[in-house]
Amino acid sequence: MMSIAAARQLKDNQICFIGIGLPSKAANLARRLHAPELVMIYESGTLGAKPSKLPLSIGDGELAETADSIVSVPEIFNYLLQPGRIDVGFLGAAQIDRYANLNSTVIGDYRKPTVRLPGAGGAPEIAGACKRVIIMLRQSPKSFVEKLSFVTSVGFGSGPSDRDAFGLKGAGPVIVITDLGMLEPDPVTKELILTHIHPNIEVEKVIESTGWNLKIANQLRVTEPPTKRELEAIRSLVAAGA
Amino acid sequence: MMSIAAARQLKDNQICFIGIGLPSKAANLARRLHAPELVMIYESGTLGAKPSKLPLSIGDGELAETADSIVSVPEIFNYLLQPGRIDVGFLGAAQIDRYANLNSTVIGDYRKPTVRLPGAGGAPEIAGACKRVIIMLRQSPKSFVEKLSFVTSVGFGSGPSDRDAFGLKGAGPVIVITDLGMLEPDPVTKELILTHIHPNIEVEKVIESTGWNLKIANQLRVTEPPTKRELEAIRSLVAAGA
Amino acid sequence: MAEIVSLSEAIESLLNDGDIVALEGFTHLIPMSAGYEIIRQAKKNLTVVRLTPDLISDQMIGMGCVSKLIFSWGGNPGVGSLHRLRDAIENGWPLPLEIDEHSHAGLTNRFVAGASGLPFAVMRGYRGTGLDEVTPTVAPIFCPFTGEELRAVAAINPDLSVIHAQRADRKGNVQLWGITGIQKEALLAGNRSLVTVEEIVDELDPRPGDVVIPSWLITAVAVSPGGSRPSYAAGYYQRDNDFYIAWDAISRDRETFMKWMGENVLSAAS
Amino acid sequence: MAEIVSLSEAIESLLNDGDIVALEGFTHLIPMSAGYEIIRQAKKNLTVVRLTPDLISDQMIGMGCVSKLIFSWGGNPGVGSLHRLRDAIENGWPLPLEIDEHSHAGLTNRFVAGASGLPFAVMRGYRGTGLDEVTPTVAPIFCPFTGEELRAVAAINPDLSVIHAQRADRKGNVQLWGITGIQKEALLAGNRSLVTVEEIVDELDPRPGDVVIPSWLITAVAVSPGGSRPSYAAGYYQRDNDFYIAWDAISRDRETFMKWMGENVLSAAS
């Protein structure tokens, strides 16, 4: 459901900055459904890759072989991402807060962490510079927290004015897609509001899975169930193997 | 004589930054004589070009076709020249002063020039960053002047400490080759001293052709006349055409 | 995604009087035909950006299209002066010409900063030179870690950037090879961009040393065979060195120049 | 000009205990065999620089070669944690590990500054993040033209930079293709440099998308067939995704890890 919901967010001809895992699955799904001309960019430097199966790593040979062009890593970050040329960036994380700030660095104290996570990678600049950011993250009280252990990437900082104050060019996160529903920032306060629940999920379940006092949209909608075509596409993608 | 004298300054395996005209002639001559593995770099981005004839412009097709590799102009200036990776840089100019500063920008006032010259090009950074700089310039009171109309490239500024003060990495000019002789900076004061006169040239002629009070080395030498092999090489190079 | 249009449509819709326009191509792939079209459409008050102004800028200046030139080496390569450029600076003919002058490295880094979405770039240069004093787009900057003094150059983001390339495909992806100079950075620095190409092909088969610029980074592509002459396009035609030498005599005299432009540019179809 | 030497000679002569060593290869062409040789020669107290530390750093850390890691993403790509890296940071085993942590863009620009002979690079980033507070090699910088606040990152110039490439010729010119990542900048940033290659050939025939690094920019070249395994070398062998998955179990437990290293690295000839 998460990757189908994410795939639906993508439009044809958009330029997407893709990480491995759910984002890669969502983008490749969109490409097989309604967005055949979606341009996928992996931070390894491949522009317009068209993999036939889901890659395990962003360096998989097939990404390079099927790319329109391969550029260096400085070009990816300095010439393509930083100036705001990318339409959509995908991010995941270990923790998110109510302003869609993300933590993928540590759980616990930075100097003496309980759990050391992989770290920032491309995330801070994806969060800062893409025109729109889509966040994908399973929902639980451990991941949807009142206060992050560490701010790896800025969503809206501590409120609506922080992106401007930090000089961040993109619009920031536009949607958070979880295994239970979808959250969107309030147009004014930028606090994440639950706007959709997935089919057969209870609102209480979503509230219990959120570590802060979750606000619910006045018109809460149920996410459209996967269509037959979507389910077939995801099955064939998974069957093609990693 | 100028290009032969300049060619003699080059050693095999050196990395040389080459402009069109006399420098290109000198380097191509050295490559046919004692320095077959000289690496010629043109600022258009060709590394290790091996032209069979003298190019008219640094963009001539043959430079690209015979190069070991072609890089972008930002790479040439930022990755290769700026960090001081080039052994020898050649410069010409319209004017030179006693500290081997060069003018290739204007004659007269900058805002209301009598003669507008082409300008800086790669010269300021060649002068600043190459390990050694060789200057080639015909000698006359109009070109060897007390005061430049404009400082396009720094030799030694106003004396021995200026290169350090300006953060210039290379050693600066090591020799000035003219149609009359050769000048080298005094090891202490960095003022240019006449150290060689070419065969059949009178010292008086050199002094008259210099717009400042030219100092003469205690042991003034006569430049070794062109050998038969040098003359043959230059003839075949010229015969191959521009 | 790049639109594929005619050269005259492209110049008409993408370039306004008073714009900053970069025309790049470092000795190779100079977008000459785009310059001719700008002259034919009698654009005015342009700020032209180009490392090596070359014949293309000499002509635009002489025809009165240009009020300001941002450049780093303004000569006829291997030949001598650009007489129209000199006449404008020395005598204000046909119009006074404001200049913003850099070294190659400096102007290169202005394009790099522009392409990178940064307001400036840092470099080692300018200190001790006259350009450091006369050029307002150069300023001191200090390393926050070592304290070392360096120079900042202001980013340049032309309203329109024009380059010439060998080929494009039908989607507007562009391929160039040989000496590729500063073209990619100039193109990316532009708020709008135009690529003239020798031809449009079905498939851009990969070539050693090629640079492929995806369609989504380009505003428009226009077919213009021979669009670089008398400069050259590797794999298509050679540099016309004789014409560069001949230009010296054509351009030296105002009347000869105007006559040549009338016969060879103004009366020609785009 | 690059000397062509054996891998063991290269590591012995070019790398000293206490050095800063960059080992680059962005998912492709990772210089694994150089890492094994460093472990076999029991180098100590190294500062390792690598955007994506990957298995190569996990092994060097677990074997006690590393006292500091400069990195931007420390995971097993597509699999999960690097357990030796985590054990060192979380529990100080086998040694405490100091870290200097960046984003990919930040560490990329540290290499770019190092390759460019500048003390720092400028970028848009870090503001509002925790890295801005904990990482001393990031500092505020202001545009001298617009006043805008940006971030500077300190240049990095490793004592030794190591990359892996497909081929070299007998003069030591190196050719790589496919995903070429940050390798050129990492190599140029190094005070000394080593390139391991799949093979040495008589002639480097040009290839689409290749990067050719001239011999005069390289200190040493060493032949090391399969030198990237379990990473890959385009045109030579594929990425061993199964091994990346298997590494999770091997590296999770200290004893299993030590046993694997003993059997597969320490007892192997270089």
The residue extents of the domains of chain B are 2-240
| Most B-contacting residue of C61, C108, C150 (CB-CB within 10 A), to test interface | C108
For B20-42, b/e burial (b = at least 16 CB within 10 A) is: bebbbbbbbbbbbbebeebbbbb
Chain A contact for D108, CB < 8 A? yes
C13/chain D closest Cα distance in angstroms: 30
Measured distance CA(D173)–CA(D190) in Å, rounded: 17
Closest C-alpha among D146, D148, D182, D171 to residue D71 = D182
C168/chain A closest Cα distance in angstroms: 13
Nearest CA in chain B to C243: B56
Catalytic residues of B: 43
C43/chain A closest Cα distance in angstroms: 29
Q: Lowest-confidence range among A9-18, A97-106, B44-53, B195-204? A: B44-53
Nearest CA in chain B to D121: B78
* Residue-wise pLDDT tens digits, A80-119: 999 999 999 999 999 999 999 999 999 999 999 999 999 9
Q: Which fold has domain D3-102+157-264?
A: Glutaconate Coenzyme A-transferase (3.40.1080)
Catalytic residues of A: 43
Chain C contact for D235, CB < 8 A? no
- Taking residues C199-209, report their average pLDDT: 94
Cα end-to-end distance, chain B, whole Å = 19
% pLDDT > 70, chain C:
99
Domain ranges of chain D: 3-102+157-264, 105-154
* CB of C55 closer than 8 Å to CB of C84: no
Identify the pLDDT of residue A61: 77
* CB of B28 closer than 8 Å to CB of B54: yes
- Chain C partners within 8 Å of A78 (Cβ): 115-116
All partners of chain D with 3 or more CB pairs under 8 angstroms: A, B, C
Question: Is there a cis peptide before residue D94, judged by omega within 30 degrees of 0?
Answer: yes
Size (chain B), residues: 242
For chain B, how long is the longest CA-to-CA vector?
49
Ramachandran bin of B130, using left for φ above 0, alpha for ψ from -120 to 50, beta for the remaining angles: beta
Angle at A200 between CA A198 and CA A201, to 5 degrees: 60
Question: 3-state DSSP call for residue C212?
Answer: strand
What is the helix (H) or strand (E) element at residue A176, kind and residue range? strand A173-177
Measured distance CA(A3)–CA(A20) in Å, rounded: 12
**pLDDT band, residue D270 (cuts 50/70/90):** low
* Residue-wise pLDDT tens digits, D110-148: 999 999 999 999 999 999 999 999 999 999 999 999 999
List of E strands, D177-246: 192-201, 211-213, 220-223
Provide the 8-state DSSP code for A36. Answer: T
- Taking residues B217-222, report their average pLDDT: 96
Measured distance CA(C78)–CA(B2) in Å, rounded: 18
D28/chain A closest Cα distance in angstroms: 6
- Chain B partners within 8 Å of D217 (Cβ): 85
Measured distance CA(B64)–CA(A70) in Å, rounded: 22
* Residue-wise pLDDT tens digits, C64-96: 999 999 999 999 988 899 999 999 999 999 999
* Residue-wise pLDDT tens digits, D69-116: 999 999 998 889 999 999 999 999 999 999 999 999 999 999 999 999
Question: Is there a cis peptide before residue C94, judged by omega within 30 degrees of 0?
Answer: yes
What is the helix (H) or strand (E) element at residue B114, kind and residue range? strand B113-116
Angle at A150 between CA A147 and CA A154, to 5 degrees: 85
Provide the 8-state DSSP code for C12. Answer: H
* Residue-wise pLDDT tens digits, B26-36: 999 999 999 99
* CB of A119 closer than 8 Å to CB of A104: yes
Identify the pLDDT of residue D256: 98
Give helix D83-91 / helix D54-62 axis angle, nearest 10°.
Answer: 50
Chains A and B touch (3+ CB pairs under 8 A): no
Sign of the Cα torsion C91, C93, C95, C99 reads negative
Contact across the interface for D117 and B82, Cβ inside 8 Å: yes
* Residue-wise pLDDT tens digits, D192-209: 999 999 999 999 999 989
* Residue-wise pLDDT tens digits, A54-66: 877 777 778 888 8
Q: Lowest-confidence range among B14-23, C189-198, D15-24? A: B14-23
Measured distance CA(D62)–CA(D81) in Å, rounded: 14
- Taking residues A21-50, report their average pLDDT: 90
Nearest CA in chain D to C149: D119
CATH label, B2-240, candidates 3.40.630.10, 3.90.740.10, 3.40.1080.10, 3.40.50.300: 3.40.1080.10
Cα end-to-end distance, chain A, whole Å = 19
* Residue-wise pLDDT tens digits, D157-187: 999 999 999 999 999 999 999 999 999 999 9
| Most D-contacting residue of B68, B73, B86 (CB-CB within 10 A), to test interface | B68
Identify the pLDDT of residue B89: 96
Question: Is 60 exceeded by the pLDDT of residue C50?
Answer: yes
- Chain D partners within 8 Å of B128 (Cβ): none
D72/chain C closest Cα distance in angstroms: 20
**pLDDT band, residue B241 (cuts 50/70/90):** low
Contact across the interface for A44 and D232, Cβ inside 8 Å: no
Sign of the Cα torsion C247, C253, C258, C259 reads negative
* CB of B182 closer than 8 Å to CB of B175: yes
* Radius of gyration, CA atoms only, chain A: 17
* CB of A83 closer than 8 Å to CB of A10: no
Nearest CA in chain D to B83: D117
Measured distance CA(D146)–CA(C266) in Å, rounded: 41
Structure tokens at D218: 């390289």
- Residue C269: which residues within 8 A CB-CB, separation 6 or more? none
Using alpha carbons, list the distances in angstroms from residue D104 to A116, A166, D34, D142.
18, 19, 23, 22
Nearest CA in chain B to D216: B15
- Chain B partners within 8 Å of D184 (Cβ): 79
Measured distance CA(B81)–CA(D235) in Å, rounded: 33
* CB of D246 closer than 8 Å to CB of D29: no
Q: Mark which residues 148-187 of B lie under 8 Å from D by CB.
A: 169
* Residue-wise pLDDT tens digits, B135-160: 999 999 999 999 999 999 999 999 99
Q: Mark which residues 203-232 of B lie under 8 Å from C by CB.
A: none
Q: Between A and C, how many CB-CB pairs are < 8 A?
A: 32
Identify the pLDDT of residue D160: 98
Identify the pLDDT of residue C125: 95
Identify the pLDDT of residue A53: 81
| Most B-contacting residue of C103, C135, C242 (CB-CB within 10 A), to test interface | C103
Measured distance CA(D93)–CA(D254) in Å, rounded: 9
Chain A contact for D126, CB < 8 A? yes
B28/chain D closest Cα distance in angstroms: 19
Question: Is 70 exceeded by the pLDDT of residue B19?
Answer: yes
Identify the pLDDT of residue D250: 97
* Residue-wise pLDDT tens digits, B101-141: 999 999 999 999 999 999 999 999 999 999 999 999 999 99
Contact across the interface for B82 and D1, Cβ inside 8 Å: no
Cα end-to-end distance, chain D, whole Å = 24
Structure tokens at D30: 């990772």
- Looking at every residue in chain C, the average pLDDT score rounds to 96
Using alpha carbons, list the distances in angstroms from residue B186 to A17, B5, B97, B160, B181.
59, 20, 14, 9, 16
For B174-189, b/e burial (b = at least 16 CB within 10 A) is: bbbbbebbbbbbeeee
Q: DSSP labels for B95-113?
A: EE-TT--EE-SEEE-SSSE
Contact across the interface for B21 and C78, Cβ inside 8 Å: yes
Contact across the interface for C122 and D120, Cβ inside 8 Å: yes
Q: Mark which residues 207-236 of D lie under 8 Å from A by CB.
A: 209, 231-232, 234
- Taking residues A172-180, report their average pLDDT: 97
Question: 3-state DSSP call for residue B129?
Answer: helix
Using alpha carbons, list the distances in angstroms from residue C152 to B83, C134, C143, D126.
17, 15, 11, 21
- Chain C partners within 8 Å of D120 (Cβ): 122, 143-146
Identify the pLDDT of residue D269: 66
Question: Is there a cis peptide before residue D208, judged by omega within 30 degrees of 0?
Answer: no
Identify the pLDDT of residue A159: 95
Using alpha carbons, list the distances in angstroms from residue B103 to B121, C76, C136, D17.
12, 18, 20, 49
Structure tokens at B8: 């003699």
What residue type is D47 in one-letter code?
T
Chain D contact for A28, CB < 8 A? no
Contact across the interface for B78 and D116, Cβ inside 8 Å: yes
Chain C contact for A66, CB < 8 A? no
For B69-78, b/e burial (b = at least 16 CB within 10 A) is: bbbbbbbbbb
Q: Lowest-confidence range among A65-74, B103-112, B214-223, C219-228? A: A65-74
Chain D contact for C36, CB < 8 A? no
- Taking residues A160-168, report their average pLDDT: 95
**Which ranges in chain D belong to alpha helices (H)?**
7-14, 32-40, 54-62, 83-91, 104-115, 131-134, 183-189, 241-252, 254-261
Structure tokens at B93: 């100019």
Pairing of strands A39-42, A215-222: unpaired
A187/chain C closest Cα distance in angstroms: 27
Strand order in the sheet with C138-142: C120-123, C149-154, C138-142
* CB of C228 closer than 8 Å to CB of C32: yes
Place of tokens 């460019």: D116
Question: 3-state DSSP call for residue A115?
Answer: strand
Closest C-alpha among A112, A133, A96, A186 to residue A16 = A133
* CB of A153 closer than 8 Å to CB of A101: yes
Determine if the pTM surpasses 0.90: yes
Question: Is 80 exceeded by the pLDDT of residue D251?
Answer: yes
Question: Is 80 exceeded by the pLDDT of residue B21?
Answer: no
Identify the pLDDT of residue A23: 83
Contact across the interface for C115 and A68, Cβ inside 8 Å: no
What residue type is A93 in one-letter code?
A
* Residue-wise pLDDT tens digits, B56-76: 777 777 888 889 889 999 999
Measured distance CA(C21)–CA(C156) in Å, rounded: 10
